[in-house]
Amino acid sequence: MYIGPPIASVTETQFCRIEGNDKCVLQTNVAMQGIPYADTFNVEVRLVARRQGCNDCKVELGLFVDFKKSTL
């Protein structure tokens, strides 16, 4: 059961930042077109990878919905 159309356009913009030898930040901004209320929000995803000791890695993932205007 569809809420919107079965096909929609998605634009992803990716940014990568490396801090020293121990941290990498990857951020993705996702904008959708062709779905209901597509002009009211964007989705931002951030992934942070850090070294933990000599053999381990810690990965944190976050998601944020950035509302551009009111839907009411």
CATH number of the domain residue 23 falls in: 2.20.25
Q: Is the pLDDT assigned to residue 71 strictly greater than 80?
A: no
SS (H, E, C) 1-24: CCCCCCCCEEEEEEEEEEECCCEE
**What's the number of CA atoms in the CB half-sphere (13 Å) around residue 42?**
11
| 43: nearest Cα among 11, 2, 16 | 11
Q: Which amino acid is at 69?
A: K
The confidence score (pLDDT) of residue 41 equals 87
**Domains in the chain: how many in total?**
1
39 three-class SS: helix
Beta-bridge mates of residue 50: 23, 58
Where residue 2 falls among pLDDT bands split at 50, 70, 90? low
Residue 3 lies in a domain: no
Residue 54 lies in a domain: yes
- For 19-62, what is each residue's pLDDT tens digit? 998 999 999 998 888 888 888 888 999 999 999 988 999 999 99
The confidence score (pLDDT) of residue 66 equals 87
